[in-house]
Structure 1
Amino acid sequence: MATISDVASRAGVSTATVSRALNGKSTVDPELVARVLAAAEELGYQPNGPARNLRRQEAAVLALIISDVENPFFTAIARGVEDVAHAVGYSVVLCNADENADKERRYVDVAIQERVAGVIISPTSTNTNVDLLINRCTPLVAVDRPLPERTSDTVLVDTRQAARQATEHLLAQGYERIGCITGPAGVRTADDRLAGYRDALRAAKHRGSPRLVRRTEFKEAGATRACRELLDQAEPPDALLVANSAMAIGVLSALRAHSLRPGLDVGVVAFDDVPWAALVDPPLTVVAQPAYEIGSVAAQLLLARIADNDRAPTTTTLGARLIDRGSSHRT
């Protein structure tokens, strides 16, 4: 069985550096942390869990509370969290809040009862309440959406800017009646994507219309209904910005039911680059978010906070990129 000395030798650092890196100390250079994690993974090094737990008086378990386990965006975040946690001997318990504040609250209670070492959470809405975690000084990191009225380590994507760029792309392709199907009001990502859409229209001095906007749950069924409503109008949209990949399935279904072809008849850009996006005909233009990186950065921040819960909170904002495919072109 590999020892901490073996890891130090493989990484070319001292055993003290290995210890600090594996315990998430913020004073360790990120390059050294990466070398240590790689060495630990290669050697199959497992920290002495029971001894460490006695020192910390907690389980070597992290709770990850996500909004929707069926959404590939959140499963990719979970993989990023798990990879980082596993490399330093932590296990991850995945909790699916399903965009439901009551379920989220129950999982927060479970995290406290089980004395987890820390929590990563994607808040469901403005009703998210983490007071019990904060009062118990449980290390906490928010992902995708900031905690309402609370300051914590947070990992976000600049989706407002990404939505603006996606809408600008549709304008540049000559679409004139661009609509937006986004999530519920009060959910930060849904609000930001709608705001970015409106930013692009205003900047282009383009006449937008409230009739071309729909809010619904971040699900296929809701997007299907919303898209059908838009298409049944006297002046339906000739392009759509869609807030996530599950909703994109609903939009594509509604377009097919109306005998409309993506791109040629109605331009479509959706958030998140899922595996099937490049396989549909025409391939789907997407806003690709760095979901795995969100998870890995969040896990690193949580480990650092476990090591030092008095450090100042930070906000990390990552970028997204447009992947231009056939669904946003008329030909």
Structure 2
Amino acid sequence: MAGVSITTVSHVVNSTRAVAPETKFRVLDAIERTGYTGDAIARSLVTGGTRSLGVAISLVANPYFAELIQAIEHETTKSGYTLVLTDTHDEAATEQSAVRALRSRRVDGLILTPSPNGKVLPELKQLGIPMVLVDRLTVGQEFDQVGPENVHATSALVQHLADLGHRRIGMVSGMPGLATSSERVLGYRLGLGRSGLIWDESMVITGESAAEPAAIALGKLLDLDNPPTAVVAGNNVMLSGVLHEARRRRVRIGSDLAVVGYDDVEWADLLDPPVTTMAQPIAEIGRTAVRMLLLRIADPSRPPTTTRLQPVLMHRQSCGCP
């Protein structure tokens, strides 16, 4: 249709050599009229890559991940790659199936948010597949990984509450087994220590990283003989559960109970009072993950790196501040 050779079409499609503008126009016009698409798998047999990146992440675990995926997709497209997305449901068996499905698509590399008790990391390491871990990071330097700084950020929330005079500060913590959960509990304990407050195991109850269990957790804290006057919610989903339970009990946020949360949400400043949160740099985490993965693909032998990005305190009035 374009009146040119297959080689010229290849140069236009793959940008492997300059082609005269008029010739390029004829080829692109023929592509448009025929709806032609290349065969990425066939091309991978020749070039060794499909120009695609796989993402295995739990889409149901937290709305935060949707914003993360948006940033990853934007950076992937800007880099000339295609994104292939699978949902792990935060279950080990589903995660393994999702990762293997991505491998069958011959993706050039993987971005993964590990599920609790998952077993895919040793398998991927043994296969030498380029990979970056996001959000839930591992101890040591085995993998490239990027996520928020959790310990000092959570400590800052506790110290802020202590500076306001609170001496009984509780925490609704995340799902056991997640690195983010343990790091934020560690930050909570660090904040207590820095404020001269005593660690009390009964003041930390897991909200399982979900709204309903978080509501139950707050209820247990408020039913203690000596209940907290302030509470830290370990993520945005649990913050929602905490606020629902407080409303059900007619507990006034900011006066009867100070509440702060790790993770910012778009509705945080629409409530009365607006909720103080620690906002993760989600877009930058997503962009950094893609850039790290492309560096790993280009140089598989480079030493693994871990990047921690600092959250920002969104100071509002749910902590009791005027």
TM-score normalized with structure 2 length: 0.83
Counterpart residue number, 1:309: 300
Q: Secondary structure at the match of 2:302?
A: coil
Counterpart residue number, 1:283: 274
For residue 183 of structure 2, the aligned residue among 160, 181, 192 is 192
64-73 or 195-204: bigger deviation: 64-73
| Kept in 2: contact 1:49–1:89 (CA 8 A) | no
Counterpart residue number, 1:204: 195
For residue 133 of structure 1, the aligned residue among 121, 124, 134 is 124
Q: Secondary structure at the match of 1:193?
A: helix
Q: Secondary structure at the match of 1:326?
A: coil
Work out whether 1:219 is the aligned partner of 2:205: no
| Kept in 2: contact 1:59–1:117 (CA 8 A) | yes
Q: Within 5 A, what are the aligned runs for 1:80-229?
A: 80-147=71-138, 151-229=142-220
Q: Secondary structure at the match of 1:151?
A: coil
Shift of 1:217: 1.4
Aligned pair in 2 of structure 1 residues 225, 154: CA closer, same or farther (>3 Å)? same
Q: For residues 140 and 118 of structure 2, what CA distance do their matches in structure 1 show?
A: 10
Shift of 1:4: 8.0
Aligned pair in 2 of structure 1 residues 318, 52: CA closer, same or farther (>3 Å)? farther
Q: For residues 214 and 115 of structure 1, what CA distance do their matches in structure 2 show?
A: 43
Identity %: 34
Counterpart residue number, 1:257: 248
Aligned pair in 2 of structure 1 residues 128, 324: CA closer, same or farther (>3 Å)? farther
For residue 299 of structure 1, the aligned residue among 290, 294, 298 is 290
| Kept in 2: contact 1:66–1:95 (CA 8 A) | yes
Aligned pair in 2 of structure 1 residues 194, 147: CA closer, same or farther (>3 Å)? closer
115-124 or 94-103: bigger deviation: 94-103
| Kept in 2: contact 1:128–1:148 (CA 8 A) | no
Q: For residues 85 and 320 of structure 2, what CA distance do their matches in structure 1 show?
A: 39
Work out whether 1:72 is the aligned partner of 2:63: yes
User: CA-to-partner distance for each residue in 1:271-299, whole Å, 9 max, x for gaps?
Assistant: 11111111111101000011111110000
Q: Secondary structure at the match of 2:72?
A: helix
Gaps of 5+ in 2: 1-11, 19-37
| Kept in 2: contact 1:267–1:330 (CA 8 A) | no
Work out whether 1:245 is the aligned partner of 2:239: no
Q: Secondary structure at the match of 2:120?
A: coil
Q: For residues 271 and 16 of structure 2, what CA distance do their matches in structure 1 show?
A: 49
243-252 or 307-316: bigger deviation: 307-316
Number of residue pairs the alignment of both structures matches: 290
Counterpart residue number, 1:63: 54
> Residue type of the partner of 2:56?
I
Q: Secondary structure at the match of 1:327?
A: coil
Gaps of 5+ in 1: 7-47
| Kept in 2: contact 1:112–1:133 (CA 8 A) | no
| Kept in 1: contact 2:159–2:194 (CA 8 A) | no
Aligned pair in 2 of structure 1 residues 128, 181: CA closer, same or farther (>3 Å)? farther
User: CA-to-partner distance for each residue in 1:4-26, whole Å, 9 max, x for gaps?
Assistant: 899xxxxxxxxxxxxxxxxxxxx
TM-score normalized with structure 1 length: 0.81
> Residue type of the partner of 2:87?
N
| Kept in 2: contact 1:49–1:60 (CA 8 A) | no
| Kept in 1: contact 2:43–2:50 (CA 8 A) | no
CA RMSD of aligned residues (A): 2.3
Counterpart residue number, 1:29: none
